[in-house]
A and B are shown apart, each in its own frame.
Chain A
Amino acid sequence: ETGVTQSPTHLIKTRGQQVTLRCSSQSGHNTVSWYQQALGQGPQFIFQYYREEENGRGNFPPRFSGLQFPNYSSELNVNALELDDSALYLCASSPTARDNGYEQYFGPGTRLTVT
């Protein structure tokens, strides 16, 4: 069984640029959630994808967008990067959207630095 993987591990971007982060879900999982974790804070929910459809969104502006592919891997895109977007971005997969007691399996994260 392959765990959740994320790429890249680290990324440095300039304010105003765009970035794409990638996540491969654990085998057998059809739901992917993305989180932003600022230093010293708990994860903040960005959005969730269930079977290629957005299934909930947190309090993030539209410049945060995502995709889920038929193999259930996912992308997080952030446009017009701002300095406050600097954070660890976590991807988590789960077997289904809401009926499993919501155990999520996390990837190692992508550390994004915006300068």
Chain B
Amino acid sequence: AQRVTQPEKLLSVFKGAPVELKCNYSYSGSPELFWYVQYSRQRLQLLLRHISRESIKGFTADLNKGETSFHLKKPFAQEEDSAMYYCALSGYSSNYQLIWGAGTKLIIKP
């Protein structure tokens, strides 16, 4: 079955510290992986996707097919990074519909 697991409901780190938000997935085939973010009082928006290999707002994510992971990382957290982060996947086996993790709330302490 296709599944996305975000093991941490809440992650709290100090400003300037490194951040890693974990995402593991179960999927038959080659999925497309995404990170979406929701800042306070704003709507869900795409942060990055693995196929574009971009770094957005200092965040990067590497698809590790061996470990079936797509962890989101940032070397130096900023207070404006505080938000809800969702990992999601899509692909042929899910008829290209997005399957979402439960989300991780990231809090950056000053």
Contacts and interface: CB of A to CB of B under 8 A. Distances in A.
Contact of B46 (A40, A97, A103): A103
A66 interface: no
B95 interface: yes
Given A42-B101, A45-B98, A45-B99, A101 B32 contact: yes
- Dominant secondary structure at the B interface: loop
Interface in B5-36: 6, 9, 32, 34
B30 to A, nearest CB: 14
Contacts of A103: 46, 49
Chain B interface size band reads: 20 to 34
Contact of B97 (A41, A48, A90, A106): A48
Interface string B45-64: 11001011000000000000
A42 B43 contact: no
A97 B98 contact: no
Contacts of A98: 96
A101 B49 contact: yes
Most chain A beta-carbon contacts within 10 A, residue among B9, B49, B86, B96: B96
Nearest to A92: B44
Contacts of B98: 33, 43, 45, 102, 104
Contacts of A45: 97-100
B69 interface: no
Interface of B: 4, 6, 9, 32, 34, 43-46, 49, 51-52, 86, 88, 90, 95-103
22 contacts: A33-B98, A40-B9, A41-B103, A42-B100, A42-B101, A43-B86, A44-B100, A45-B98, A45-B100, A58-B97, A92-B44, A101-B32, A101-B52, A102-B32, A102-B34, A102-B90, A102-B98, A104-B98, A105-B45, A106-B43, A106-B44, A108-B43
